[in-house]
Structure 1
Amino acid sequence: MHRIARRGIAIAAALTLAAAVAACSDEAPSSDGGTTENVPGVTATEILFGTHMPLTGPAAAGYSKIAPATKAYFDYVNKNGGVHGRQIKYQIEDDAYNPANTQNLVRKLVLEDKVFAILNGLGTPTHTGVLDFLNQQKVPDLFVASGSRSWDQPDKYPGTFGFQPDYTVEGKIMADYVKKNFAGQTVCHFGQDDDFGRDSLAGVEKILGASGVKEKQKYVATNANITPQIQAFKTAGCQVVISGTIPGFTARALGTAAQLAFKPQWVVSSVGADNLTLSGLLGQNKGLLEGLLSVGYLPVSTDDSNPWVQLYKKVNAEHNANAPFDNNIMFGMTVGYLTVQVLQKAGKNLTREKLIEAVQSGGFKNAAAGPYRYSKTDHSGIGGMQMGKISGGAQAAFGPVLETDEADGAVKEYTEKPTTPPGNGVPQA
């Protein structure tokens, strides 16, 4: 009898202790029936994101402005109360567009700095090397700043999501325009020697066929001498060159072509066609940009009538030292805006799993011209683009927004218009 009584007292004491431990733990009931967990990079007052960016090195021209623009938008949101009461912090690491640096810095961000997620890491060759690590660590890998199709593998990389249209979509849209407007002309392709260039060429060939691209040349970002490639285009009689190049190599291609008296029509990837960046690289030779064709998926930065440009210019003036405003800043701030939309949707009781679920739920609308395609089975990002041209020193979009897929789907017009930002410039849940 006494033994049973003592056992009952012991059980009661254990239950009381367990209740006390639960009450003092980091995992307590939340107002929505979930739990507030001890999540890396998340406190009651802050959310910490990290990124790798080429602030120096061969890809720094233009691209070094992206992460500071994203941070500036976060600072703007923080000034307006943050997201669910939390301030957004953004830790930016310079990898100089060197894959070895990227791996070291991303490991530091995850293992030492304990970031909540990696956001907008830039570069095909750089980010490819951290895909396995981030997904093994179950760290969300949001909105990679590259159009490689590698980011759209939800079965293999469930935490990774693209942002911009992938390079095959882009290649298809550029080639479709060339096919319709430069019929009968000799078309060639110039691309970076990685997934960027290969995916771009794959898209072009889906429209023109392999035989429709007479000369195909590649470059590596560590070798500035591209004279042999441009000479090969001239020798082949290329009249149109579709180019999958970063800004530094777009400028080098134009400059080298001028030296060789080679004057094709250039049609350039969105990632390498920003007018302000190229003008700075070419200096007194910026007249070489006249007539350059490109594609884009955000409002052109010089369109002051666009409400997104107006918002981002305000943010840029208040939180980014009024940096020279270009399409790279448009890119960075749109990534920031989309991230806030996702955080709003993920809810106050934030976890990495809820963040990924929020992205996959889709339905996002912002400055992007085309649709976001996020779902459980599609992590590819924006699916539409618009042609653009540099004329009289100014860059402007023209024609309809076009959408397609990375497979064999047709290039067709996308008719839904982008939304306008809310009055205070901060998305709401």
Structure 2
Amino acid sequence: MSKRSSVVAMLTACVVMAAGCSSDSSEGGDSTGVTDTSVTIGSHQPLTGPASPGFGDVAPAAKAYFDYVNARGGVHGRKIIYKYRDDAYDPVRTVSVVRQLVEQDKVFAIFNGLGTPTHTKVVDYLNARKVPDLLVTSGCTCWDAPEKYPYTFGFLTDYVREGKILGAYIKKNFPGKRVAYFTQDDQLGQDGIKGLDKEIPAASVVSRQVYQPGNLDITPQVAAIDQAKADVIVAFGIPQYTAQLRKAQLKLGNSAQLVLSTSSGGEPTTLVRLLQDATPDQSATSLIQGIITDAAAPLPNETRNPWIQLFTKVRNEYATSLPLTTAMVAGMTAAYTFVQALQVAGPDLTRQSMVSAMEKGGFTGPSFVPFAFSKTSHAGGTGTRVGSIKGTAIEYQGPPMTTDNGNGPVVPYDASPATPPANGIPTTR
């Protein structure tokens, strides 16, 4: 081959390579996982393991809503293919599952990955690969780091905000009472404590107990709380451990008031399921009456709420075995929000256009308070609503409350709630 021919061949190869790299994310054009008729997304979920009770239904609920949207034409002519895999709330498995989704399944984005100890093990990897990491089901403040994690966006109200709101409630309604903390020994519990400590006077906190996920024997922690004579126990963890906490209270004859974060299993139906074997003398429902908790969106038994009516319709059409719980509402809310972002990202869908759509913010839905999404904030919800359990419902005590994850005040949020569109599918704003 002549020298001239060699040069031509090299140039031709470069052109071919360039054409093959037209989805280079450095140019904002990466459309991995996208075809003219579909967009494929993936997730890690605790379908089994310690977080499965209460959270195992989140992904099936989201899929049901995507099926509903797909049956009505999808988004910009694309159907949403949702591949979620079981990580059993085990960070080691999370790493394996997410790598498989990204490197083998070639997903466009990771959607709604669930768990603080699990997702923290993959967030660096996803951002290094420039994979959109959207609507993480965890209230860790660590997702709100646009400069460090430009591709990651939270979903839940972060635990600092939630801790502040619950702390403000405790400070107002239990003045001078002795308070104990029962928290998971990771970012979930640590962020919850940060929020609580911003509102509850330090002198009122008589015991701070933590538990390790995987060890269900929490007798020492509850015994320490009992010995400290706490009047109020506030928990930040996962539902299985909240149920263990309530069982230990019964065993010790402890009557302290329970205050549960949403993540800790404050949803009544889940708690009832977990407490079925607690005592032969009392019904599980009777054991949860008066527990104080919070919610970021309406519960499934609020049957007059238009969002609950929509999600119940979706459930009845596409996931008839799905329990009517907060997990169902959370999964469908996340899916609804993702569809809004897809609409805003437009028909020429790329990973960068999806990130830009998320940063535009302004998404509406069933949540009581807005999301914080913008170019400078990748945090999820900005507040929650406190109430006490009555029957298998939450009797709200006051309006939704909102705050920041710093030192700002906890204030009421009184804007009118959004209503779903007639066909249940959002459109571009």
TM-score relative to the length of structure 1: 0.91
Give the whole-Å Cα distance in 2 for the aligned partners of 1:43 and 1:51: 19
Native 8 Å contact 1:287 1:393 kept in 2: no
Q: Could you say what secondary structure the match of 2:398 adopts?
A: strand
The match for 1:163 is 155
CA contact (8 A) 1:61 1:248 kept: yes
Instruction: Trace 1:333-344 onto structure 2 (pairs within 5 A).
Output: 333-344=332-343
The answer to whether the 8 A contact 1:302-1:395 is kept is no
Aligned residue identity for 2:423: N
What does 1:152-301 align with in structure 2 at a 5 Å threshold? 152-271=144-263, 272-283=265-276, 284-301=283-300
Percent of paired sites with the same residue: 45
Task: Check 1:229–1:80 CA distance in 2 against 1; reply closer, same or farther (3 A cut).
Answer: same
Matched residue, 1:385: 384
Q: Deviations over 1:71-99 (max 9, x none)?
A: 00000000011000000011010000000
- Matched with 1:32 is none
Q: Which residue of 2 aligns with 1:407?
A: 406
Name which of structure 1's ranges 252-261 and 319-328 shifts more when overlaid on structure 2: 319-328
Cα shift at 1:101: 0.2
Matched, 1:318 2:311: no
C-alpha contact 2:179 2:205 (8 A) present in aligned 1 = yes
C-alpha separation between the residues in 1 aligned to 2:231 and 2:55? 29
Equivalent residue letter for 2:377: D
Q: Distance in 2 between matches of 1:366 and 1:327?
A: 15
Alpha-carbon shift at residue 365 of structure 1 (Å): 1.0
Give secondary structure in 2 for the equivalent of 1:49.
Answer: strand
The CA distance in 2 between the partners of 1:372 and 1:221, in whole Å, is 29
Measured against aligned partners, the alpha-carbon deviations of 1:267-302 in whole angstroms (never above 9, x if no partner) come to 101112111111011014342101011011101211
User: What is the CA–CA distance in structure 1 between the aligned matches of 2:30 and 2:401, rounded to whole Å?
Assistant: 44
Per the alignment, in what secondary structure is the counterpart of residue 370 of structure 2? coil
Match of 1:81? 73
The alignment partner of 1:118 has SS state of strand
1:8-27 matches, within 5 Å, as: none
Task: Name 2:358's counterpart in structure 1.
Answer: 359
Q: Give the equivalent residue in structure 1 for 2:396.
A: 397
Show the 5 A alignment for 1:97-108.
Answer: 97-108=89-100
Letter in 2 for 1:303: E
Q: Deviations over 1:222-278 (max 9, x none)?
A: 100001111111100100111102110111100111100001111101112111111
**Paired position in structure 1 for 2:49:** 57
Distance 2:286 2:143 in 1: 36
Counterpart-to-counterpart distance in 2, 1:220 and 1:275: 24
Q: Which residue identity lines up with residue 211 of structure 2 in the other structure?
A: Y
Per the alignment, do residues 182 and 36 of structure 1 end up closer, same or farther by CA in structure 2, a change over 3 Å counting? closer
Provide the secondary structure at the position in 2 that maps to 1:214. Answer: strand
* Unaligned 5+ runs, structure 1: 1-6, 29-34
Q: Cα offset for 1:220?
A: 1.0
> For residues 205 and 216 of structure 1, do their structure 2 counterparts lie closer, same or farther at Cα, with a shift above 3 Å needed?
same
Q: CA deviation at 1:188?
A: 1.2
- Of 106, 111, 131, the match for 1:139: 131
State the distance in 2 between where 1:59 and 1:334 align.
20
**Amino acid in the other structure paired with 1:276:** T
Cα distance, 1:209 vs. partner?
3.6
Q: Paired residue for 1:422?
A: 421
CA contact (8 A) 2:368 2:400 kept: yes
> Which of 52, 61, 70 is equivalent to 2:62?
70
Give the C-alpha shift of residue 38 in structure 1: 6.1
| Residue in 1 that maps onto 2:280 | none
Q: Please tell me whether the aligned partners of residues 400 and 413 of structure 2 are also in contact (alpha carbons under 8 angstroms).
A: yes
Query: How far, CA to CA, are the matches of 1:426 and 1:370 in structure 2?
Result: 20
Q: Which of 118, 121, 128 is equivalent to 1:129?
A: 121
Amino acid at match of 2:369: G
Aligned partners of 2:22, 2:184: CA distance in 1, in Å? Answer: 48
TM-score by length of 2: 0.91
Does structure 2 retain, via aligned residues, the 8 Å contact 1:369–1:417?
A: no
Equivalent of 2:141 in 119, 125, 149: 149
CA contact (8 A) 1:36 1:350 kept: no
Residue identity matched to 1:125: P
Offset at 1:62?
A: 1.8
Aligned length: 409
* 1:327 corresponding residue in structure 2: 326
Mapped contact 2:30–2:352 kept (Cα < 8 A): no
User: 8 Å contact 1:26–1:37 — kept in the other structure?
Assistant: no
Return 5+ residue gaps in structure 2 as ranges: 277-282
